[in-house]
Homo-oligomer: A and B are copies of this chain.
Amino acid sequence: MEKRFAELLTLLGEVKDLEGAAAALSWDQQTYMPPQGAAARAQQLATLKEMAHTKFASDSIGELLGQLKPWAAQLPHDSFEASVVRVAERDYRKAIKVPAQLVSQLSQATAMGLDTWLKAKSASDFAAFMPSLQRIIDLKVQEAEALGYEGSRYDALLDAYEPQMRSGQVNELFEQLKQRLIPLVQAISERLDRVDDSFLHQHYPDRKQWDFGIHVLSDMGFDFRSGRQDRAVHPMTTRLGQGDVRQTTRIQEDFLPSSMFSTFHECGHALYEMGLAEEFTRTPLADGASLGVHESQSRMWENLIGRSFGFWRHYFPRLQRLFPTQLGQISLDAFYRAVNRVEPSLVRIEADEVTYNLHIFIRFELEQQMLSGQLAVQDLPEAWNGKMSSYLGVVPPNDSLGVLQDVHWSVGLVGYFPTYTLGNILSVQFLETAANDYPAALDHLAGENLLAIREWMKEHIHRHGRKFTMPELVQKVTGGPISVEPYLNYIERKYAAIYDL
Residues on A lying within 8 angstroms of B by beta carbon are: 13-14, 17-18, 20-22, 24-25, 28, 32-41, 43-44, 46-48, 51, 223-228, 230, 240-244, 281-282
A21-B22, A34-B224, A36-B242 provided; 17 other pairs, C-beta below 8 A?
Answer: A13-B47, A17-B47, A17-B48, A18-B47, A21-B21, A21-B25, A21-B47, A24-B24, A32-B230, A33-B240, A34-B244, A37-B240, A37-B243, A37-B244, A40-B244, A41-B240, A43-B282
A480 to B365, CA, bound (A): 72
* Copies per complex of this chain: 2
What are the residues of chain B within 8 A of A240 when measuring CB–CB? 33, 37, 40-41
A interface: dominant SS:
helix
CB <8 Å contact, B225 and A34: yes
What are the residues of chain B within 8 A of A34 when measuring CB–CB? 224-228, 243-244
Q: Which 5 A-B pairs have the closest CB atoms?
A: A40-B241, A37-B244, A36-B243, A17-B47, A36-B226
**Whose C-beta in chain B lies nearest to the C-beta of A17?**
B47
What are the residues of chain B within 8 A of A223 when measuring CB–CB? 36
CB <8 Å contact, B21 and A226: no
Report which of B18, B37, B225 forms a contact with A226, defined as CB distance below 8 A. Answer: B37
**Whose C-beta in chain B lies nearest to the C-beta of A28?**
B24
What are the residues of chain B within 8 A of A21 when measuring CB–CB? 21-22, 25, 44, 47-48
CB <8 Å contact, B43 and A17: yes
What are the residues of chain B within 8 A of A38 when measuring CB–CB? 243
Q: How far is the CB of A221 from chain B (nearest CB, A)?
A: 14
A224 to B33, CA, bound (A): 10
**Whose C-beta in chain B lies nearest to the C-beta of A282?**
B43
What are the residues of chain B within 8 A of A17 when measuring CB–CB? 43-44, 46-48
CB <8 Å contact, A37 and B241: yes
What are the residues of chain B within 8 A of A20 when measuring CB–CB? 40, 44
Report which of B32, B41, B48 forms a contact with A241, defined as CB distance below 8 A. Answer: B41
What are the residues of chain B within 8 A of A39 when measuring CB–CB? 242-243
A22 to B51, CA, bound (A): 14
CB <8 Å contact, B282 and A14: no
What are the residues of chain B within 8 A of A282 when measuring CB–CB? 40, 43
What are the residues of chain B within 8 A of A243 when measuring CB–CB? 34-40
A156 to B122, CA, bound (A): 53
A13 to B108, CA, bound (A): 14
**Whose C-beta in chain B lies nearest to the C-beta of A43?**
B17
What are the residues of chain B within 8 A of A14 when measuring CB–CB? 47, 51
A25 to B240, CA, bound (A): 10
Listed by A's residue number, 11 A-B pairs whose Cβ atoms lie within 8 Å are A13-B43, A18-B48, A20-B44, A21-B25, A33-B240, A34-B224, A34-B243, A34-B244, A37-B242, A37-B243, A40-B244
Q: How far is the CB of A47 from chain B (nearest CB, A)?
A: 4
Q: How far is the CB of A24 from chain B (nearest CB, A)?
A: 6
**Whose C-beta in chain B lies nearest to the C-beta of A14?**
B47
What are the residues of chain B within 8 A of A225 when measuring CB–CB? 34-36
Q: How far is the CB of A500 from chain B (nearest CB, A)?
A: 47
A221 to B51, CA, bound (A): 37
What are the residues of chain B within 8 A of A227 when measuring CB–CB? 34
A41 to B43, CA, bound (A): 21
Q: How far is the CB of A137 from chain B (nearest CB, A)?
A: 26
What are the residues of chain B within 8 A of A40 when measuring CB–CB? 20, 240-244, 281-282
Q: How far is the CB of A350 from chain B (nearest CB, A)?
A: 28
What are the residues of chain B within 8 A of A41 when measuring CB–CB? 240-241, 244
Q: How far is the CB of A244 from chain B (nearest CB, A)?
A: 3
Q: How far is the CB of A51 from chain B (nearest CB, A)?
A: 7
A225 to B37, CA, bound (A): 8
**Whose C-beta in chain B lies nearest to the C-beta of A230?**
B32
**Whose C-beta in chain B lies nearest to the C-beta of A35?**
B225
**Whose C-beta in chain B lies nearest to the C-beta of A223?**
B36
Q: How far is the CB of A39 from chain B (nearest CB, A)?
A: 7
What are the residues of chain B within 8 A of A28 when measuring CB–CB? 24, 28
A227 to B226, CA, bound (A): 27
What are the residues of chain B within 8 A of A24 when measuring CB–CB? 24-25, 28, 44
Q: How far is the CB of A223 from chain B (nearest CB, A)?
A: 7
A46 to B18, CA, bound (A): 11
What are the residues of chain B within 8 A of A25 when measuring CB–CB? 21, 24
What are the residues of chain B within 8 A of A47 when measuring CB–CB? 13-14, 17-18, 21
What are the residues of chain B within 8 A of A13 when measuring CB–CB? 43, 47
